Structure 1
Amino acid sequence: MKYVIVIPDGCADEPIAALGGLTPLQAANLPAMDRLAAEGILAVANNTPAHFPAGSEVATLCLLGYDPNVYFTGRAPLEAAAQGITLGKNDWAIRCNLVTIQDQTMVDFTADHVSTEEATELLGMLQSELIGKAENDPFLSRLEFVPGVSYRNLLIYRGDQSVTPPFSLDTRAEAPHDLTDLPVADGFPRGPGSDLLVRLMNESADLFASHPINQKRIAAGKRPVTNIWLWGLGGAPDLPSIQELHGVKGAMITAVDLLRGIAALVGWPRIEVEGATGYLDTDYAAKGCAAIDALESYDVVCVHVEAPDEASHEGRHDAKVKALEQIDKHIVGPLAEALAKHGDHRILVTPDHPTFCSTKKHTHGVVPLLMTGTGITPDSQTTYDEMSAVASGERFDQGWDMLGKFIKR
C-alpha cells in the first residue's frame, strides 16, 4: 500500500463576506480534491486540544498520530531537531523570531520577511554583545543564538547538573503570529525565567535600533527588525518512530523548520525541493513532482504546504484561495493520478489547524479532512470543505486517533 498525506497548512477557515459568505475552501476551484471527496469519506478532526497552543507544533503531532499530552514538550525543541541540534536532559530550546514592533503593537512577526543573511548577522551581533560579555552570569553564559531561516531562529540553553535551569513547563509567551496588529504588552514571557527572556528582548531593541542592517532596510522601504521575540520554549522530546508504530517507511516534503524537525523526530528523512519557500511564492509544481518521485522509495509521502497559513496571517483571503487552487492543480491532482499506477493506495488531505483570515491567527477547533483509496467506502459528500466535512457526521475528537484509521498494515 502506498500512502500520501497532503497538509495545506491552516486552510480551514470561516465564511468570509468578501467571498460571498463562503470559506476559502468553498470559494476555490478544487476539481481534484472534490473528485477525491466524492470517491472517499470526509470527516472532522480536532488537532488542537483546548489546553494546548492552537499552532502547528501541537496540531501536526496530533495529525501524525502522537498524543500531545504524552509527547509535546514545546515548539522550539521540534525546530531544534530540524537543525540537527541534540538537546540533553538539562537543555532548553527557545524559538527566536525577528519581529517589527511599533508603538507596542506587533506590526509584523516576520520583520518584513528579513533575509537569512540579515538574520544571521543580527543574531551574531547579539551573541557577541549580550552573551559573549556575560562570562560570569550563570544563565546568560549558557545561551547560544542559532540562526535558522529568515525570521525563524533559535536560542539554545545548555544546562548541566550543577545549575538548575531557570525555566520550567510553566514558562510561557504568546506566539508572535498570534499577536499580529495587537498590543504586545500581555504577550511577553511569563513564569520561571521570564525575567531573563524579557531582558534579552528589551536589550535587543536597543542594539538593533541603529544597526546598519536596519538603516539599509529603512532606506529600501522595508520594515526594520526592531527586536527578538522569545517563545515556544521546551526541553528534549522523545517520540517513537512512525515505522515503529505503523510499520511503514515515510518521508517529508516541507520548507518549514518545524515540520522538518517533527519529521526528524518521527524517523522520516526530509526531501528538500528547490523553489520551496514556505511562503505564497513556493514552487507548488516542484513539490508535486518531488512527491511523485518519492513514491518509488517510500510507503508514505507527506507534503506540507505553508502558503494557505501565510495568506491567513496576512488577512488575504484572495491569496488563500489562489494557494489552495495551486495545491489542487500541482500537488493533489498529479499525486492522485500517480498513486493509481502503484496499485493499492490511499490519500489524505487535511490541514493541521484552522487559521482565520479575519483574525490573522491560528485558532482552536476542528478541521476538515478527506480520505480515499483502497478499502475506503465512499460516503455521500461530494465536495471538500468545512461544511461538507461536518455534514459527514464522522469525527475524530482526539486527532491523534485519525492516522491509525488511515494507515492499515
Structure 2
Amino acid sequence: MPETQRQFSLVAGEASGDLLAGLMLDGLQARWPAMKAVGIGGPQMLSRGFESWWPQEKLAVSGYVEVLRHYAEIAGIRRQLRARLLRERPEIFIGVDAPDFNLDLEAGLRERGIKTAHFVCPSIWAWRPERVVKLRAAADHVLCIFPFEPALLEQHGIAATYVGHPLAKVIPMTPDRAAARKALGLDPDAEVVAILPGSRRSEVRQLAPMFFAAAALMLKARPGLHFICPVLPNLRPEMEQVLGASELAGRVTLLDRQSHAALAACDVTLIASGTATLEAALFKRPMVISYRVNSLTWRLVMQRKQLQPWVGLPNILSGEFVVPEILQDAATPEALAEATLAWLASPDKVHALQQRFCAMHAELLRDTPTLCADAIQKVLAR
C-alpha cells in the first residue's frame, strides 16, 4: 500500500492507556511518517496527531456495577466503531489495554480479516485467567510490558513480544525532586504527601473522600505537612467538591494533571491501585496503595478471581509486600494515615525501598517505541 494511504486504528480507554499509546505512536510514526492513526484516544495521542472519534472519557469506567450503569452507551460505541472500521479497513487495529472493551472488538475485526494486536497483556497471571482464551481469539500479536509475560503466553499458543514498559523510558532513573517542587511552587524543605485517588470518576467518588480524611488525620499528627493532588480537568469540579467537604481547606494544592510532577516532588504518596503505583515506584517514592470498590464487585472479582496475594504492581513485580496495600473494608482513614506517616518516620526503610525500585526500573527500561514498531511491522508482513 502506498505510504500516503496507511491507516492504523487504536483504542485506549483511560489515562494510563493514553500514555502507553502515545509512546507507541512515536515508534509507529518514526517507521511510517505518513501514517494516519484513528479510533479512540486521549490527550497524549491527540498531541501526536491522532484522530479520536469519541472522547476517551466515555470508556473510563471501572468495576462491574459501574460498567453495568454505562453498558448501553459503551456497547453502542463499540458497535459503531466496529462498523466504521469494517468500512474503512485499517491495516491493523491495536487495542491498548482496556481488555473488556478491546478484546471482543479485536476478535470481531480479526474474524473479518483485519489484523490485530493487543498492547498490554491482560493480567491473566494475577486474576481472571480465563481471559487467555479470549486473548488467543482476539490478537494476532500481544505487546507485553513485563518481561515474564511472553513465555507465559507462548504456553497458550499466543505470539508475543516484550517491549519494556514505556513508563520506564519516560520517567528518569533519578527524578529531580528540587526541580519538581520549584515548578509546582512548593517549599523545597516541606514534607509533601501526594494524594492520587485515581483517574476515573468512580474512583474519585469512592476514594477521594477517604484519602482526604486520612490526610486530615496526618495533618493533625504532623502540622507541617503539605498535600498535592493531581486531577484531570473533567474531574476537577467533583474533586473540588470533595475537598471542600473535608477539613483540608487551604492545605491541598490541586494540580491540573501533572501526576508525574506530583510524584517527583513528594516524599510519600497515598495512591489508588493501578498503573499509577508503578509510576510511583519508577519515581522511587514510598507509597501506601489503597482501593475500594462496590461491595458486589469486590465479592465477584477480587475475592473469587485473584490469583496472587498482591494487587499493587510494585508488589507483584517484587513478589512480596514491599509497600503496604490497604484494601476495601480495611481501608479506613485511620489505617491509611498511620501507614503513610510510617514512611516519613523511617528514612532507612525508604532508602532500601528506593534501591529495589532502581533495580525494577532497569529491568523495565527498553526502547519501547522501536520494539513496538518492529513487532507491528512483522504482523503486517505476515
Instruction: State the TM-score, normalizing by the size of structure 2.
Output: 0.28
Pick the structure with more helix per residue. Answer: 2
Instruction: State the TM-score, normalizing by the size of structure 1.
Output: 0.27
Q: Which has the higher contact order (CA 8 A, sep 6+)?
A: 1
